[in-house]
Amino acid sequence: MKIHEYQAKQLLSARGVAIPSGRVALTVDEAVAAVGPLIEESGTPIVVVKAQIHAGGRGKGRFKEHPELGGVKLVSAGAGGGLASAEEGVRQAASQMLGSTLVTVQTGPAGKQVNRLYVEQGIDIARELYLAVLLDWAVSRNIVMASTEGGMNIEEVAANSPEKILRQEIDPAIGLADFQAHAIAWALGLEGTTHDNAFRLVKALAAAAVELDADLIEVNPLVVTKAGHVLALDAKMSFDNNALFRHEDVLAMRDESEEDPAELEAAAHGLSYVKMDGTIGCMVNGAGLAMSTMDIIKKVGGEPANFLDVGGGATTDRVMAAFKIITKDPNVRGIFVNIFGGIMRCDTIATGVVAAVKEVGLKVPLVVRLEGTNVEQGRMILADSGLNVIAAADMKEGAAKIVELAGGEE
């Protein structure tokens, strides 16, 4: 689960990570009202309006409705204008951003509608650094990752100059040891009180990741101010969904408007679903088989409309729900049901498909490949249903059939 920048900053600030002052705003008026107190608190005549969406690259992104406007807008009180001019600047930025669609490298061309803003004090930046806590699969532990190359795409830094990336493994029995946090702060070139500030922040960030079951905390950039403060200027957090049951406060931060409605509906039925851009709907049991069903459709010249794993313990109801989610996608021109029944019995799948088709109707070709437990009963249920279901002997044949019937790659 992902959360917004301002929510991440709330969680981190409460755990000792230094952040700039800021206020969340759901309306233009709230954004304007934040300006006065922020300027007073920080003593800085500059505020920044930041669009809150669950995607990165906001600063370089552009609004569809306002091509000159990015997702992060600096507003200055100006030399003579004072507070009123800053408020006017924020009013203009906020009214253009709210309800508009921000397109960034991470949103895809469709972009994301901005419904929340974060108004933050301006910062006198001396240096931009990078800091993250994430799981390192190779060692089965969290690591702290840091770099002097803040504000850049860390993947590019890792690819082009891997020596600029520092790593410290977190021992789950110990947490991040002091010497490790010191090592990071020194490697970032921080000395004196700035070093101490960074040391505290690194320790707090590592502890927060464990306490909150975050699978990623990324602070990019981590900034050093001209006064020597070390602040998380941006914060991206995502959480291990399997651990949310023990974090009600995090769960309460979920913003479902940022998520795909079909994926949400699928999750409510215990289905694992990912929307794709193609035309062949897929219903499969097992994650590996579901992935390779998409792959094989592509291989025979089609494009998958979705990933869908009905899971091992699926019931007829769940199969019906899956079928309805697939048929709701207007791009779907054919459906491929690919089941290797182990625990999931083929007759359960067949019964679910027949019931779903009878309820929602079938306007596109349907190819079903059944193999495994109770396969004969399953095939019989489909054959006796009177529905126009095309049977396939294996998944390669099934994929070829459905792509042909749906009209190829178009």
Partner 1 sequence: MSILVGKQTKVIVQGLGKTGRFHTDKSIAYGTDMIAAVHPSRAGEVEQFEGETDRSGVPDRPDSYDVTLPIFRTVAAAVDATGADATVIYVPAPFAADAIMEAATAGIPIIVCITEGIPIADMVRAKRYLAGRPVRLVGPNCPGVITPAACRIGIMPGYIHRPGRIGVVSRSGTLTYEAVHQLTLLGLGQTTAVGIGGDPVNGTSFVNVLELFNDDPLTEGVIMIGEIGGTAEEEAASFVAARMRKPVAGFIAGTTAPPGKRMGHAGAIISGGKGTAAAKIAAMRDAGIVLAPTPSDMGAAMAEALG
Which of 173, 248, 361, 386 is in the footprint of partner 1 by CB under 8 A? 173
Interface residue with partner 1 among 304, 334, 352, 378 (CB under 8 A) is: 304
Angle ∠(184,190,194) on CA atoms, nearest 5: 115
Q: Is residue 88 a contact point for partner 1 (CB under 8 A)?
A: no
141 near partner 1, rule: CB under 8 A = yes
One residue of 187, 207, 274, 380 binding partner 1 per CB under 8 A: 274
Residue 137 contacts partner 1 per CB under 8 A: yes
Cβ at position 135, least distance to partner 1 in Å: 6
Q: Which stretch binds partner 1 (CB under 8 A): 23-31, 237-245, 249-257, 315-323?
A: 237-245
Contact status: 292 vs partner 1 (CB under 8 A): yes
**One-character DSSP codes across 294-326:** HHHHHHTT--BSEEEE--TT--HHHHHHHHHHH
406 touching partner 1, by CB under 8 A: no
Q: Does 53 bind partner 1 (CB under 8 A)?
A: no
Residue 138, interface with partner 1 (CB under 8 A)?
yes
CA–CA distance, 356 with 310 (Å, rounded to integer): 14
Of the candidates 152, 291, 364, 391, which one interacts with partner 1 according to CB under 8 A?
A: 291
307 part of the interface to partner 1, by CB under 8 A: yes
Q: Give me the catalytic one of 218, 258, 273, 303.
A: 218
Q: By CB under 8 A, tell whether 215 contacts partner 1.
A: yes
Least distance CB 219 / partner 1 (angstroms) = 15
* Residue 305 dihedral angles phi and psi, to the nearest 5°: -90, -20
CA distance 164 to 170: 20
Residue from 64, 328, 358, 396 binding partner 1 (CB under 8 A): 396
For 250-277, the three-class secondary structure string (H helix, E strand, C coil) is HHCCCCHHHCCHHHHHHHHCCCEEEECC
Tokens of 43: 């003593």
Answer for which of 159, 192, 248, 252 binds partner 1 (CB under 8 A) is 159
Which helix (H) or strand (E) segment holds residue 146: the answer is: strand 141-147
Is residue 117 a contact partner of residue 66, using CB atoms and an 8 Å limit? no
**Where do we find the tokens 């803040």?**
150
Give dist(CA 202, CA 129) in Å, integer: 12
For partner 1, the closer CB: 137 or 179: 137
> How near is the Cβ of 313 to partner 1 at its closest, in Å?
7
> Can residue 63 be called a binding residue for partner 1 (CB under 8 A)?
no
Using the minimum distance from each CB to partner 1, give the nearer residue, 226 or 396.
Answer: 396
Q: Which residues contact 330 (CB under 8 A, 6 or more apart)?
A: none
Residue 190 and residue 198 in contact, taking contact as beta carbons nearer than 8 Å: yes
Give the binding range for partner 1 (CB under 8 A) out of 30-38, 73-81, 199-207, 306-314: 306-314
Query: Mask: binding to partner 1, 242-271, rule CB under 8 A, as x and -?
Result: xx-xx-------------------------
- Min dist CB 261 to partner 1, Å, is 16
Find out whether 238 and 216 touch, Cβ atoms under 8 Å.
Answer: yes
Q: Give burial (CB, 10 Å; 0-12/13-18/19+) of 242.
A: exposed
- The reply on whether position 404 binds partner 1 by CB under 8 A is no
Minimum Å gap between C-beta 366 and partner 1 is 20
Query: Does 386 participate in binding partner 1 (rule CB under 8 A)?
Result: no
Separation between Cα atoms, residue 262 and residue 216, nearest integer Å: 25
Contact yes or no for 236/57 (Cβ under 8 A): no
Q: Is 218 a catalytic residue?
A: yes
CA atoms of 339 and 401, how far apart (whole Å):
16
Give per-residue burial for 359-374: e unless 16+ CB within 10 Å, then b. eeebebbbbbbbbbbb
171 DSSP assignment: B
Which one is catalytic: 6, 118, 130, 273? 130
Q: Are 28 and 94 in contact (CB under 8 A)?
A: yes
Given candidates 152, 210, 387, 391, which one binds partner 1 under the rule CB under 8 A? 210
Q: Is position 362 an interface residue for partner 1 (rule: CB under 8 A)?
A: no
Binding site for partner 1 (CB under 8 A): 106, 135, 137-138, 140-142, 154-155, 158-159, 171-173, 210, 213, 215, 240, 242-243, 245-246, 272, 274, 276, 284-292, 294-299, 304, 307, 309, 312-313, 340-343, 371-373, 394-396
Q: Name the residues annotated as catalytic.
A: 130, 218
